[in-house]
Structure formats: C-alpha cells, structure tokens
Amino acid sequence: MINPLHDRPSKMVAVHLNYRSRADQRGRTPAFPSYFLKAPSTLAPSDSVLGVPADCELLAFEGEIALIIGAEAHRVSRDTAWRHVSGVTAANDFGLYDLRYADPGSNVHSKGLDGCTPIGPAILDAAQLDPSSLHLQTYANGRLEQDARVADDMLFDFAYLIADLSRFMTLQPGDVILTGTPAGSSVAQPGDVVEVEVAGTHVNGTRTSTGRLRTSIAKDDYRVGSLLPAPQADAAAKAAAYGHPAPQATGPTPRG
C-alpha cells in the first residue's frame, strides 16, 4: 500500500456540493460543480490528532472520496479522464463552521487549518477499480453517520470533474481532488474519533477497501480570534454545521 503523504501535491481541489443527499439537505442543487483550493499543509495521515481551537466549537467532519492524479491532465475529455487517475483513497475535509461566514466559497479560514484534511490509510489502484462501484462511509465514535454510493448519489461523476478542471488548469501527478461529501456530516467534539472508509469493486469482481481513515479530535489551547474574522457560532452556523437546527441542551454529540 502507498503512503498517501509520500509526496506533497502541487494543489488540492475540492468540490463544494456534489451529492444529491447533501444538495437536498442544503436546499439547492447546482447546475455545474464549483470548487475551492486547499493548501497541502492541511494534509494529515491516518491516526492523526486534530486540535479544535479553544474559541471554536463547530468543527464538522466531511467524509469524502479523494482522487490522486497519476498522469498529467490538460484539456482531457470525459471519455479519457479516468486514465489520468492513479489512486483512490478516503479523505476527511474537516471545517470550522465558526469561520465559514468569513469567506464562503474560498473557505480559507474555515478549511485552512493545518492537518484538517487527513487522507488514507491506503491508496487503491484506480486502474483496477470500477469507479461507479465506490462506496463511502463515515463513522463517529463507531456509529455510521454517512453512507453513500457513487452510482446512486453523486451529481457530477469523477470523469466530469477531471475533464472540467483540466479545461482551465493542468492537473499534475500527485494532485488531489476531493469529490464532495454526502448528507450526514455533523460536528465532532474533543474526545471524538471520526473514521472514513472507501470501498469498491475491482474490474475482476473482487472487493477492496482503503481501510478506515482514523482521526482523533482534541482541544487546542490556541485561540484564532485574536484577529478578525473571529469565530461566530450563531444559529445559522450551527444549523449548517450540524446539518439540521442545533440542539438547545448540552449533551452527547448530535449527529447528521
């Protein structure tokens, strides 16, 4: 199995909204994909610890399927796009929804935290996979929270994303595409453990899996609010982070 962090990508591109279940939850279905860029410094391996800043409370998990580019893709067609993918792995696109208001779209404040994009643990050989067979599952403290099959739920397939992006930017070997998250994303609290797994079928019919990408959540002493924008955990931010109106009472971590 390949170490996902052996080489740093030149860029990481993430899709904003790409699952029907998530679009239904958000109340809007895009006619075409939109994207944001993530810094390679957000990458982390499996079994890492992610610290929540002391003045933030809305760290949301988002299980995703990550594509690793293996061959340069420049203005490629949908028909040939998959040939440019070398690997598939699990990812978790964590975000601080306390800061989502600050730069919606670019997500620099909410999704730029060091280590907030763990990927792994194994990379599956794309050439041996049927991409339509891929199945994404996310667990929080052992409980299944996200469960989506690409063939049933994804709005824009992998080939579309690669062809679309390659119209404007050359995708280089090692680049990562985060392909969106389904419904079920919610808030993780310090002490929680979040796991993401991607499974699929080889072209010969056998099943394969990345194994579970495991991230432990901890409280960080660092406070991000010494400069503006400062964290804001208002009702709108809570509703977006939890995937539904936030609970009023303190208790166990609510789930999507």
Residue 199 dihedral angles phi and psi, to the nearest 5°: -125, 160
Flag whether 195 is in a domain: yes
Could you read off the pLDDT of 181-238 as tens digits, one per residue? 999 999 999 999 999 999 999 999 999 999 999 999 999 999 999 999 999 999 999 9
CATH number at residue 77: 3.90.850.10
- The residue type found at 221 is D
Q: In the Cβ-directed half-sphere of 226, how many Cα atoms lie within 13 Å? A: 6
Give the three-state DSSP class for 211. coil
Q: In the Cβ-directed half-sphere of 144, how many Cα atoms lie within 13 Å? A: 5
Domain that holds residue 87: 12-242
Give the three-state DSSP class for 21. helix
DSSP β-bridge partners for residue 215 = 48, 194
Domain count, the chain: 1
Give the three-state DSSP class for 256. coil
Record the tokens describing residue 137, joined without a space.
């599952």
pTM beyond 0.95, yes or no: no
Flag whether 70 is in a domain: yes
Record the tokens describing residue 93, joined without a space.
């696109």
Flag whether 4 is in a domain: no
Record the tokens describing residue 164, joined without a space.
């679309």
Mean pLDDT of the chain: 93
- pLDDT the model gives residue 199: 98
- The CA R_g of the chain, rounded to the nearest whole Å, is 17
Flag whether 252 is in a domain: no
Q: For 86-107, what is the mean pLDDT? A: 97
pLDDT exceeds 80 at position 246: no
Flag whether 191 is in a domain: yes
Flag whether 3 is in a domain: no
Could you read off the pLDDT of 23-62 as tens digits, one per residue? 999 999 999 999 999 999 999 999 999 999 999 999 999 9
Flag whether 254 is in a domain: no
Could you read off the pLDDT of 123-182 as tens digits, one per residue? 999 999 999 999 999 999 999 999 999 999 999 999 999 999 999 999 999 999 999 999
